Amino acid sequence: MNEGLGSALGLYAQYEQIRAMKNANGTGQKELLETVQTPAPNAMQTTVNPAEALKQKMGQGLQIGTGTLFAVVGGVSLLYWLSRRK
């Protein structure tokens, strides 16, 4: 296991050295400028409706707030009950 991890780290170090050399002499920037990137033909792009995202966040906040309120009221009730018990 240790040997495998050492080998993997060695390969990663070599990769980083090559990348640093490309960036140092400008080859990396040249490759970046010359590389043509096209989107996948079957990629489905969905847009997030801001109102829907806000509605979900508000619902989560309401659940957390309600749970907190019940916990506080329950705790205060328990303490009151314990203080009045003889």
**How confident is the model over 77-81, as a mean pLDDT?**
93
Q: Which pLDDT does position 76 carry in this prediction? A: 95
CA dihedral 10, 15, 18, 22 (to 10 degrees): -160
pLDDT in tens, 19-30: 777 767 777 667
- Please give the radius of gyration of the chain, using alpha carbons only, rounded to the nearest integer: 29
pTM value is 0.38
Closest CA to 28 of 20, 36, 40: 20
> What is the token pair recorded at 79?
């303490």
pLDDT at 13: 86
Q: How far, in Å, CA of 22 to CA of 64, rounded?
A: 50
